[in-house]
Amino acid sequence: MNCSSCSCSSPSSSSSSSSYKTLTSCLTWRTSSIVPVQLGFHSAKSKYSSRRLHVACSSSSSSSSDPLLVKAAKGEPVSRPPAWMMRQAGRYMAVHRKLAEKYPSFRERSETTDLIVEISLQPWEAFHPDGVIIFSDILTPLPAFGVPFDIEEVRGPVIQSPIRSEEGLKALHPIELEKLQFVGDSLRILCREVEGHAAVLGFVGAPWTIATYIVEGCTTRTYTTIKNMCHTAPQVLRALLSHLTKAISDYIVFQVESGAHCIQIFDSWGGQLPPDMWDRWSKPYIEEIVSTVRSKCPKTPLVLYINGNGGLLERMKGTGVDVIGLDWTVDLADGRKRLGSGISVQGNVDPAYLFSPLLELTDEIQRVVRCAGPRGHILNLGHGVLVGTPEEAVAHFFEVARSLEFRTPQSHVVEEPKFIV
């Protein structure tokens, strides 16, 4: 179902004016101006102290001091939809490009505490999103459990010794979290820098998605080698996925103990599987991760995102996560109906809208928020920020998000969302 023809469409659509007026009861628009922040370069060592802070997993009931994003992830009432963007720290920002000229190695930038913190805070200082996600990569923990990798200029991630046999499995060992101390230190510093004004987000790759790199040896468009293993060497693939599940679970807990308020699980290539294959080769391992993390960090929200997830929404809900991230190809109102109440959603503005006139971008943000309803929604893109995205469009995205304000009591809305901007 196309949202342009559903009840949450814009007032210029075929919806009747009376229906439109009915929807205006729950959200107001506050006008304000964008205040640009001039980003300068500095020595990260001189600005950020690596003083160790201990932040334990939260096991208590939800707190009124939780960041706005965490409240929305838990389905609690919020004053407006919190917003952040996948890939919000990246090369579309001039300040990032300048830093990358000085430090051209992605791995150096993503594995050096000072640089991680500086890059993670660049969008925070410029746009003040409601979530600050650590600058890292889903492959970052691989060397810590026995899988070295390189990142080549053209090919991207490359694993010189792919694991495709029982012999290859012998290289694996339990994750050595001390080798990822730069992640823990960065999260602790980020928590201190944002001072509770935003949620600090950690993230991991799902076992299936990580396995595609380890088995294929590099990025691929066909996934033929790992898909073939599902039939020709299922015992090897299961052993690999089980090892990854344990390592990723430990890595999530490590991030939460280091201060992360929320964790996003990227099953980026889960959408490359037919639904029945996803049920066998991805879902059980995500369920195990969720169960393990729940037992140790029961109040930490978990978000699951799959690129191309339109055929998997109900299955994704079955993993037990708190939030389902929708890509831009899913009608958000339809996604709400399919997922039902009791679970939050994230998304799902098409990243290409950031290249549109700002008025069109404003309309699309409003439409997405209407479709989502006033409770349990984190405003985001349906995918990461694209290279070349105008920074003024990103600033406008967050300014529009901050201008929204819910006025009436909130509840999960599966039918017609009774609010608009």
For the chain, the average pLDDT equals 87
d(CA 54, CA 408): 38
Helices 391-403 and 113-127 pack at an angle, to 10 degrees, of 60
Is 263 strand, coil or helix?
A: strand
Sign of CA dihedral 383, 302, 244, 240: negative
Strands (E) across 111-164 are located at: 131-133, 150-152, 156-158
Q: Both ends of the chain: CA-CA distance in Å?
A: 22
- pLDDT average, residue stretch 117-146: 98
Phi and psi at residue 304, in whole multiples of 5°? Answer: -120, 125
Give yes or no for residue 28 having a pLDDT over 80.
no
If one compares 168 and 10, the residue with the highest pLDDT of the two is 168
Minimum mean pLDDT among 178-182, 324-328, 337-341: which range?
337-341
- pLDDT average, residue stretch 139-146: 98
Can you give the pLDDT at residue 63? 66
Where residue 8 falls among pLDDT bands split at 50, 70, 90?
low
Where residue 70 falls among pLDDT bands split at 50, 70, 90?
very high
Helices 283-296 and 234-257 pack at an angle, to 10 degrees, of 30
Where residue 217 falls among pLDDT bands split at 50, 70, 90?
very high
Can you give the pLDDT at residue 27? 60
Q: What is the pLDDT of residues 188-208, one digit of tens each?
A: 999 999 999 999 999 999 999
Amino acid at 142: L
Can you give the pLDDT at residue 33? 37
Can you give the pLDDT at residue 232? 98
Where residue 414 falls among pLDDT bands split at 50, 70, 90?
very low
Q: What is the pLDDT of residues 249-262, one digit of tens each?
A: 999 999 999 999 99
Can you give the pLDDT at residue 154? 79
Can you give the pLDDT at residue 407? 75
Can you give the pLDDT at residue 333? 95
d(CA 137, CA 405): 34
Omega into 307 within 30° of 0, i.e. cis? Answer: no
If one compares 15 and 382, the residue with the highest pLDDT of the two is 382
Give yes or no for residue 248 having a pLDDT over 50.
yes
Can you give the pLDDT at residue 410? 55
Strands (E) across 39-167 are located at: 131-133, 150-152, 156-158
If one compares 216 and 65, the residue with the highest pLDDT of the two is 216
Number of H helices, E strands in the chain: 17, 11
Q: What is the pLDDT of residues 265-300, one digit of tens each?
A: 999 999 999 999 999 999 999 999 999 999 999 999
Spatial CB neighbours of 56, under 8 Å, sequence gap ≥ 6: 257
- pLDDT average, residue stretch 332-342: 93
Where residue 44 falls among pLDDT bands split at 50, 70, 90?
very low
Q: For residues 349 and 386, is the Cβ–Cβ distance under 8 A?
A: no
Is 260 strand, coil or helix?
A: coil
Rg (CA), the chain: 21
Is 326 strand, coil or helix?
A: coil
Q: For residues 354 and 85, is the Cβ–Cβ distance under 8 A?
A: no
- pLDDT average, residue stretch 91-101: 97
- pLDDT average, residue stretch 337-360: 96
Element housing 349 (H / E): strand 344-349
